[in-house]
Structure 1
Amino acid sequence: MELELDGNSALVTASSSGLGLASATALADEGVDVAICGRDEDRLADAKAQIEDATGDDGGAVLAHPTDVTDPDEVEALVEATVAEFGGLDHLVTSAGGPPSTTFLETTERQWYEAYDQLVMSLVWTIENAHPHLLESDAGSIVCITSKSVQEVIDGLMLSNSVRRSVIGLVKTISREFAPEIRANAVLPGTVETPRIEELVEARVEDGTYDDYEQGLAEMASDIPVDRIGDPRELGDVVAFLSSERASYVNGASIPIDGGSMRSV
């Protein structure tokens, strides 16, 4: 399917690895000029090189801008740099790393505030700064990457289960407030083979829980109907579709990308 995104511009936050990087790669592969960000400058430079290698000469341009998305001043500078580099902004994709695994009684008050800044306020600041530029575009769109935990809680992920749900309320509300000029949707990834999952499996191989990495992946996929965990690019491709005019009637949706693992309706 031709997504007709060539020549557009996009900003993808928390995109130096994982699902943000996969989304930026999918967009660049469609000819979109993409701004990526992260706190680690070396990892960000590696991400830029990965996107350029994966998309080749036909891919969009890539701007790598070091940013801590929990700092509103840095977020403002990121959006300004993106607009200055590409002459505008058509698409915004928000992502954020997961907060630490914890239970209610183990969670400190400081962790609650940090998780809210990381998962919610980072989006608020980014959307606030991006909004006037998206409004000027003929193709304005926002896609927020969250987690299936917003719909079905995951044991041990107290912060993700609780705080990420605010994102869904935000997305649903702005999908009405910003329409028809800007569409807003969310994607809800399940278990995907990101660096975080790789580290988790490798740690369990080292402690003897699994015999090897492949067994760990198989165990993680045991309750997923498609019988495997996801590839980050599979989510990235959905993000690119939702950003395109092919999804022009999709607005305010929360779409699970989980191989059918969620049991809730």
Structure 2
Amino acid sequence: MDYELDGNVALVTASSSGLGKASAKALAAEGANVVINGRNEERLAEAEDDVRAVAEGGVLAVQGDLTNYDDIEHLVERTVSEFGGIDHLVTNAGGPPSGPFMELDDEDWYGAFDLLVMSVVRLVREAAPHLRENGGGTIVTITSRSVKEAIPSLVLSNAVRMSVIGLEKTLSKELAPEIRSNAVLPAPHETARQQELIQAAVDRGEYDSYEEGLDAKGNINPLGRIGNPMELGDAVAFLSSEQSSFINGVAIPIDGGQGASNL
């Protein structure tokens, strides 16, 4: 299906690896001009090459920290100056520290809120005037299945990411009809982070091989596997396209049916 994104401009944050990079690749392959972002300069440069390899439009990499408001302003300004506007904003951020409730202090909580919630608040505040132009645009927020079901030892993600969904739902009403706002809730996908976790389990002796560890993670999913990052990326591209023009204010699990929640 042609998503008719040729010439559109998409800004994808935290996209030097993982699901953010997959989303940038999916949008770039559909013809959008894509701006990617990350903190690590070397990894960002590698991601730029990966995205450019599939791109039908332009690709720009802008280094920056999503907890720094000046960096967010710069990111939006560079996008507009390079491509003339913004049609699609995809918000993404790294995960907060893991650990049980009693082992986390106030600094951990404030840091998680700044990273997961305030980054979205600031990005939308800066990008919204541009998204309203030329007939309107879209916002897709990548969060986690933890907003549906609490995950053990991830209390920061379980609690704080709920705020992002409340924000997304509010934006879907306040910014409509010019801007549609949706969220995706991924279960584990075979990103570099998941590969590291599986390999660490192998090194601890929990599995005899990476393949065994990967199978073990996949066996708890009804589809018998974890996700391919591009499956999430393709969903983001769809939600950014006119083919999803009547989808607004939803939070869609991309989890292969792993979740147990009815809603």
Matched residue of 1:15: which SS?
Answer: coil
What is the aligned partner in structure 2 of residue 103 from structure 1? Answer: 100
Identical aligned residues as a percent: 58
Matched residue of 2:127: which SS?
Answer: helix
Written as runs of structure 1 = structure 2, the 5 A alignment for 1:1-265 is 1-55=1-55, 59-265=56-262
Matched residue of 1:121: which SS?
Answer: helix
Q: What TM-score, normalized to structure 2? A: 0.98
| Mapped partners of 1:242, 1:165: distance in 2 | 20
**Cα distance, 1:22 vs structure 2:** 0.3
| Mapped partners of 1:101, 1:64: distance in 2 | 29
**Contact 1:89-1:137 at 8 Å conserved across structures:** no
**Cα distance, 1:223 vs structure 2:** 1.4
**Cα distance, 1:100 vs structure 2:** 1.4
Matched to 1:175, the amino acid is: S
**Contact 1:90-1:138 at 8 Å conserved across structures:** no
Q: Residue deviations 1:104-136, cap 9 Å, x none?
A: 001111000100011000111100000000011
**Contact 2:28-2:54 at 8 Å conserved across structures:** no
Q: Residue deviations 1:178-217, cap 9 Å, x none?
A: 0000000000000111111111000000010011001111
Matched residue of 1:185: which SS?
Answer: strand
Q: What TM-score, normalized to structure 1? A: 0.98
| Mapped partners of 1:69, 1:99: distance in 2 | 13
Matched to 1:163, the amino acid is: V
**Contact 1:185-1:253 at 8 Å conserved across structures:** yes
| Mapped partners of 2:94, 2:5: distance in 1 | 27
**Contact 2:207-2:213 at 8 Å conserved across structures:** yes
Q: Which runs of 4+ in 1 moved over 6 A?
A: none
| Mapped partners of 1:215, 1:154: distance in 2 | 23
Unaligned runs of 5+ in 1: none
Matched residue of 1:136: which SS?
Answer: coil
Matched length: 262
**Contact 1:94-1:123 at 8 Å conserved across structures:** yes
| Mapped partners of 1:199, 1:139: distance in 2 | 39
| Mapped partners of 2:191, 2:17: distance in 1 | 8
**Contact 1:187-1:257 at 8 Å conserved across structures:** yes
Matched to 1:172, the amino acid is: K
**Cα distance, 1:20 vs structure 2:** 0.4
Matched to 1:117, the amino acid is: D
| Mapped partners of 2:194, 2:161: distance in 1 | 19
| Mapped partners of 2:52, 2:174: distance in 1 | 36
**Cα distance, 1:158 vs structure 2:** 0.7
Matched residue of 1:142: which SS?
Answer: strand
**Cα distance, 1:253 vs structure 2:** 0.5
Matched residue of 1:164: which SS?
Answer: helix
**Cα distance, 1:139 vs structure 2:** 4.0
Unaligned runs of 5+ in 2: none
Matched to 1:178, the amino acid is: L
Matched residue of 1:64: which SS?
Answer: strand
| Mapped partners of 2:146, 2:191: distance in 1 | 17
